[in-house]
Structure 1
Amino acid sequence: MSVELTNRSGALVPEKQMHSLLNFGITYMELHPDCAISLTFVDVTEMEELHIKWMDESGPTDVLSFPMDLPEHDGEIVTLGDIVIAPAVAAKQAKDAGHSTEAEIYILATHGLLHILGYDHADPDEEKVMFALQEKIVKEWSQK
């Protein structure tokens, strides 16, 4: 498993924990051990640009996910997709939720991973399943 992490946000982010969490999530979801994921932290301006370009929605968002079209696994590392997080947005949400920015970033990274794997929260039933799963993954990872 491979996690490629890039930080263009200007904020300090829990890099070591992000590698651990995403590797845990990949294992938890029983994905092939030779898969990879890209995680990028960006500032609010870049996140807003991405949000407009890819979602046609104004303003910054907290996390965006970009799943890759997965080819047949032929012994090569397969990239599952890209997760992009805005730590400044996460910090505001964390304050509103009453927990740390790091805790919010863990939730967002797991949320992004689940989106890459096809989970969604467009309707209440999907949301219930996805949010329960992301909470379970973060909780089990934090207790290991």
Structure 2
Amino acid sequence: MTDQPEEIRVLTAADLPALERMEIELFGAAAWSPESLASEIVGPGRWYVGAVVGGELVGYAGLWFDGFDAQVMTIGTDERFQGRGLGRRMLDNLLDHARTVGAAVVLLEVRVDNDPAIQLYESVGFERLGMRRAYYQPGNIDAWTMRLDLRGREEPA
């Protein structure tokens, strides 16, 4: 698998079948419906990218920009491809886009038991703001709310 070409690119309607499959695998009962996914990836202020390995969509990430702040909507990578840095590359793409559109701050919520994601976000400078109780995911697991201030921050090397 390591010699397969990898790319991060903007999602299109042609990616919906693979996106639906991954959404169900990653989020189970909390997965977005196909209709919601279709409207979300092209919605106003939305920026969705995918990780492609060997021609297969194996990860996706999304950002929403409201004119001032941006919010990471999701980052997910197929289990077969986790640990290869694809999540970081997609996050970097989202943050680059947030800077391009002039976002002052990037916000997100992440389950308190998702240590790899928490480490990823903290590694690029996100700070924990507080805990959201009974997060919307199945099981009412709590989530950290996190924030990255882009004002005055230079792009990472």
State the TM-score, normalized to the length of structure 2. Answer: 0.29
Q: Which has the higher strand share?
A: 2
Point out which structure has higher relative CO (alpha carbons under 8 A, 6+ apart).
Answer: 1
